[in-house]
Amino acid sequence: MDFTVYRNIFQNIYFSELFCTSHEYNIKKLLLVEINIVEKDLRFIANLKKLKSVELRACKIDQTPYSFLKFVFENEYLIELKYYYLNDNLSKETIKFIKENFKPRRIVVKKV
């Protein structure tokens, strides 16, 4: 299943609060547009077992804005994180924040 979320549905709720944490979801592709991503959202995304890719467009991660980030789940141990280096400066703090929430997977960061 593909799942797309745009900012206009979120007023006083985080993305992860739309789901029951005890339920397993069959989401393979996730597209989030203009969403504020917090730690519990990343933990929820990290726990989606069937996920193949996550694309973030015009989103904020831990209050830092990014125009484009894409997570490609190569296998259960490796995630490729792509970002537009001309538009975004993926800070060490953001990389650390992402890595902490996707442990024990290894994350390879690539500029596109």
d(CA 100, CA 84) in angstroms, rounded, equals: 22
pLDDT at 88: 85
Q: What is the pLDDT along the chain (112 residues), one digit of tens a residue?
A: 767 776 656 567 788 888 888 888 999 999 999 888 999 999 999 999 999 999 999 999 988 999 999 999 999 899 999 998 888 888 899 999 999 999 999 999 999 8
- End-to-end Cα separation, the chain, in angstroms: 26
- pTM confidence score: 0.85
